Amino acid sequence: MPPFIAIEGIDGSGKGTQAKLLVERFKERGYDPFLTSEPTKGPIGKLIREHMANPFLDDRTLALLFASDRIEHLEKEIRPALEAKRPVISDRYVFSSMAYQGQTLDMEWLGKINDHADRPDLVILLDVPPDLSRRRLEDREREFEYFEIDEGFQEGVRKSFVELSRGHHTPPSLKTEWCVIDASMGKEEVFEKAWDMVERLLLK
């Protein structure tokens, strides 16, 4: 079975850039990778994106929507790609739900509503300080989503990601290998560290 890789980190950590670089390297090695992201572009994902631009849902409803969107993501995109022998790279996955929504909701409950999620083979965590991520987001010249504005919130999310990488709050069914990378480095240096872990995975 080809690898299922999740890329995680706070906003502005470089997930999208690293995901695209992974896709290109996989292609160079003769694979047909499948790049995807959460929330999805489906109807539930669209509702979530609308909320992120202009909040109108309570925290529990949002968490349940993310979990529902993930069911569709797995059934319609991730599992079919893996069955077709395609490596899957997902820009965000279940750990984003736990890190972000865990700032206001119980981590154990979040784990329970996501117990349907498939375990990825590798999670790449791009760790970056919120002040740097903020500068990167400002360079994109777009409107901020509500949760991107608060650096204190982003720091809390960052800490939650680190805790998850150490196995804290993670449901047994989702415990897997993590690669934590200092994403304040140049994108090429970050990528080579990420690919080193992916290559080890391919050699197993």
How confident is the model at residue 29, as a pLDDT?
95
3-class SS at 125?
strand
- pTM recorded for the entire structure: 0.92
Strand order, beta sheet including 34-37: 34-37, 88-91, 4-8, 122-127, 177-182
Q: Which of 179, 187, 136 is nearest to 21 (CA)?
A: 187
**Interatomic CA distance for residues 109 and 66, integer angstroms:** 13
How confident is the model at residue 146, as a pLDDT?
45
**Interatomic CA distance for residues 138 and 106, integer angstroms:** 31
pLDDT tens digits, 43-94: 999 999 999 888 999 999 999 999 999 999 999 999 999 999 999 999 999 9
Do the Cβ atoms of 133 and 12 come closer than 8 Å? yes
Could you say which residues of the chain have pLDDT below 50?
Answer: 144, 146, 148
How confident is the model at residue 139, as a pLDDT?
64
Residue 118 backbone dihedrals phi, psi, to 5 degrees: -75, 145
Residue with tokens 């050699």: 203
How confident is the model at residue 149, as a pLDDT?
54
How confident is the model at residue 140, as a pLDDT?
61
Domains and CATH numbers, the chain: 4-203 (3.40.50.300)
